[in-house]
Amino acid sequence: MQRRSFIKSTALTLGSLAFLSRKTLAAFLADPAFEIEMLTQNMGIFTERGGTILFMLGKKGIIVVDAQFPDTAQHCIAEIKKKTSQPFDLLINTHHHGDHTAGNIAFKGIASHILAHKNSKKNQEAAAIKNKKEAAQLYPDMVYDTKWSSKYSKEKLSLHYFGRGHTDGDSFVHFEKANIVHTGDLVFNRRHPFVDRSAGANIGEWIKTLDNATSFFKPDTVYVCGHAAEGSDVVINKADILLFRNYLVNVLQFTKESIDKGLSREDFLKNTSIPGSPEWKGDGINRPLEAAWDELHENVK
CA gap 301, 290 in Å, rounded:
17
The per-residue pLDDT for 298 is 85
The full set of domain ranges for the chain reads 32-238
According to the model, what pLDDT value does residue 224 have? 98
pLDDT computed for residue 301 by the predictor? 53
CA distance 96 to 127: 9
Mean pLDDT, the chain cut into blocks of 10 residues (301 residues total): 32 38 42 86 97 96 98 97 97 98 97 98 96 94 98 95 98 98 98 98 98 98 97 98 98 98 97 97 96 89 53
Q: Which CATH architecture has domain 32-238?
A: 4-Layer Sandwich (3.60)
DSSP state letter for 199: G
CA separation for the pair 109, 125 (Å, rounded)? 20
Measured from the Cβ of residue 281, the count of other Cβ atoms closer than 10 Å reads: 15
pLDDT at 32: 57
**If residue 245 lies in a helix (H) or strand (E), which one and from where to where?**
helix 238-260
Cβ atoms within 10 Å, residue 216:
13
54 burial type by CB count under 10 A (0-12 exposed, 13-18 middle, 19+ buried): buried
Residue 25: how many CB atoms within 10 A of its CB? 13
Torsion of CA 45, 46, 49, 52, to 10 degrees: -20
- DSSP 8-state code for residue 219: T
Instruction: Give me the pLDDT at residue 153, please.
Output: 84
pLDDT at 33: 85
164-192: burial string, b at 16+ Cβ within 10 Å, e else: bbbbbbbbbbbbbebebbbbbbbbbbbbb
What pLDDT is attached to residue 300?
61
Position 64: which residue type? V
Q: Measuring CA to CA, which residue among 76, 65, 246 is closest to residue 171?
A: 65
> CA of 256: how far to CAs of 39, 172, 195, 201, 278, in Å?
41, 29, 17, 18, 19
pTM equals 0.89
Neighbours of 129 (CB within 10 A): 11
The pLDDT, as a whole number, for residue 15 is: 40
